Amino acid sequence: MRQFFSLLIIGALAYFSWPYITENKDIQTKIENLKENQELASVLEKLNSGLNQLIWQVNEKKEELTQDEKILPKVSKPELATPSEVTFTIHNIRIGDKKVEVEKQLGAPKRISMNEYGTEWHAYHENFQNFTMVSYSKDGVVNALYTNQDLIAAKNGIKYGAAKETVRQTLGEPLKEIRKGLVYYQFQNDQDYDVYHIDDSYVTVFYDKHRNNTVTAIQMISEKLEQSKAGFYTKASDALRAGFEYQLFDLTNASRVVHGLGILTWDDPIKVTARKHSVDMAENSYFSHTNPAGQSPFDRMAEDDIVFSVAGENLAYGQFSSIFAHEGLMNSLGHRENILKPDFKLLGVGVAFGPKHEPYFTENFYSKRKF
């Protein structure tokens, strides 16, 4: 495109300078005359302006195409085999499988990040389709699994989209507490998930109350791994903070593709804004979109020179992982609308920890303003 306009400019130069070339043999004189030619200068200015405008439009179109391409090509779902030896599998993977076999099937992970169990979530997906997170023990054996997509297989027939009543009729009453040593950790009665002790693992079935309380995700944690986590919250660290931030970002995109939406791009500047708000909430013991100085999310973005056409913020507090935070946000209508808003293109997540290591999560969504 630039070459095309360069040829136009050269042509204009030749046209307007021809009289001077034929009448003068002195090169310096020709140059001076060209500089003083107002008609030529005006044409060049218009050509340059047109070139810049065209380049801007092309870049804008490329950005739009890039966003559209993020949900393409469509990836087919794997054929799920009904397990015979265990109750549940995710993406045909079960607790106890070897890492080498998992990666023969799924390839290399797209991200590795620390989780609340002191191990690492390995995230496998193709443009956030067929999204699966897997944790491994030190000897390379699967000890935790999670998905929020249609990758669940069970020998009892429970699958993604099954009704809550069906799950409880099949698996019985869920646990009300987990015992670790001499301490009992109780579950709330009004949560949007059920926990079961099955096949030497703790299986959490999450429900989407905006889709008639149907199964929307499942997490499986080996009993050994769960019992190794001593407290309700994991001790805060920079690695855990970064892990929670990237996990919440990935989970958000995995939910968007389920609903036929384009994936969001990670944005470092807005992550800084989000993290600062989480730190402020943790240090000053409050939980609100409006900070003690009276600033809204949009005020904080403007203060950090974030120029947006549309923006939103999600907050979560007290959940012991990004998975539980995300599933809770999806069951809160306003937060869900932000996660599934088609107009958003960028996302940054910021996490901070309170005095008891409880996490504060801030998600800032936006799209850049077009000038």
Structure confidence by residue, pLDDT tens digits, 295-314:
999 999 999 999 999 999 99
**92 lies in some domain:** yes
Mean pLDDT of 159-184: 92
pLDDT band with cut points at 50, 70 and 90 for residue 182: confident
Whether residue 10 is predicted with pLDDT greater than 80 in this model: the reply is no
pLDDT band with cut points at 50, 70 and 90 for residue 188: confident
CA distance to 70, 128, 150, per residue, from 155 (Å): 34, 26, 15
Mean pLDDT of 190-208: 96
Q: 332 is in which domain, residue-wise? A: 238-368
Last residue of one domain, picked from the residues 184, 204, 228: 228
Does 224 share its domain with 242? no
> To the nearest 10°, the Cα dihedral for 230, 234, 240, 241?
170
Distance CA 261, CA 185 (A): 37
Does 28 share its domain with 50? yes
**72 lies in some domain:** no
Does 59 share its domain with 97? no
Is 262:72 a contact under the CB 8 Å cutoff?
A: no
Mean pLDDT of 81-108: 97
Does 250 share its domain with 180? no
**131 lies in some domain:** yes
For the stretch 49-79, pLDDT in tens is 555 555 444 444 444 444 444 445 788 999 9
Q: Among 170, 360, 371, 365, which residue's Cα sits nearest to residue 279?
A: 360
For the stretch 102-121, pLDDT in tens is 999 999 999 999 999 999 99
Does 60 share its domain with 120? no
Judged by DSSP in three states, 350 sits in: strand
Does 102 share its domain with 31? no
Question: Tell me, what CATH number does 104's domain have?
Answer: 3.40.33.10
Last residue of one domain, picked from the residues 171, 195, 228: 228
Distance CA 127, CA 146 (A): 17
Distance CA 239, CA 113 (A): 8
Tokens of 269: 């500047």
DSSP bridge pairs for 347: 266, 365
Is 241:350 a contact under the CB 8 Å cutoff?
A: no
Last residue of one domain, picked from the residues 209, 228, 247: 228
Does 243 share its domain with 165? no
pLDDT band with cut points at 50, 70 and 90 for residue 45: low
Does 217 share its domain with 315? no
pLDDT of residue 331: 98
**82 lies in some domain:** no
Tokens of 169: 């009729």
For the stretch 202-214, pLDDT in tens is 999 999 999 999 9
Q: Report the DSSP pairing between strands 265-266 and 346-353.
A: parallel
Does 110 share its domain with 199? yes
pLDDT of residue 187: 83
pLDDT of residue 26: 53
Distance CA 151, CA 54 (A): 45
**80 lies in some domain:** no
> How many domains does the chain fold into?
3
pLDDT of residue 231: 85
Does 249 share its domain with 190? no
**76 lies in some domain:** no
Does 166 share its domain with 143? yes
For the stretch 336-355, pLDDT in tens is 999 999 999 999 999 999 99
**125 lies in some domain:** yes
pLDDT top residue among 80 and 2: 80
Does 93 share its domain with 217? yes
pLDDT of residue 71: 47
DSSP, res 209: G
Distance CA 51, CA 44 (A): 10
Q: What does the angle CA 80 – CA 83 – CA 84 come to, to the nearest 5 degrees?
A: 150
Across 10-24, 105-119, 183-197, the highest mean pLDDT is recorded for 105-119
**328 lies in some domain:** yes
